[in-house]
Amino acid sequence: MKKLIFISLIAVSLFTVSCQKDPGGNADMQTIDFTVQSSQWLEYGTPGTAGYGFAVDLAMPEITDHVLQYGMATLYMKSGDSWLPVPIYFYNSTYQGGFIYVMKRGLFSIEYYESDHLTEQPATQIFRLVIVQPV
């Protein structure tokens, strides 16, 4: 009986210790809305070949080493009254395409491509970048 009580006490104490929550969890969140004009999209690659598309590189000093190492950044694209998360892919009867993004310290790049390698220059787009970093 003493063994059963002892084992029960050990199990309860282990469970109690393992279920304690960390008191941390504070973070700063920053939202940046911006518009990429149709004329800002730069062509890359050769039309008709793999890798052909359009991209825009944006100076974004808010993307710091701290954000890259400990935080996160998420991009959204405006569609009507809604915000769609990027990467976003769409499908057409003859091709598929989409927007993706890449970031590094101080720079945020958005790319657009179509699978038929005949990508048309994107129209003006409104984006929202949400940056979350622990404090």
- The pTM (predicted TM-score) of the whole model is 0.77
In the Cβ-directed half-sphere of 92, how many Cα atoms lie within 13 Å?
9
pLDDT of residue 1: 53
Separation of alpha carbons 108 and 47, rounded Å: 24
Beta bridge partners of 53: 44, 113
**Model pLDDT, residue 25:** 66
Percent of the chain whose pLDDT exceeds 70 = 81
90: pLDDT confidence band, cut at 50, 70 and 90?
confident
CA atoms in the 13 A half-sphere facing the CB of 13: 6
Calculate what percentage of the chain has a pLDDT beyond 90. 67
Q: How confident is the model at residue 21, as a pLDDT?
A: 54
The pLDDT tens digits of the residues spanning 3-34 come to 545 444 444 454 444 455 555 668 899 999 99
Return the closest-CA partner of residue 130 out of 66, 85, 81.
85
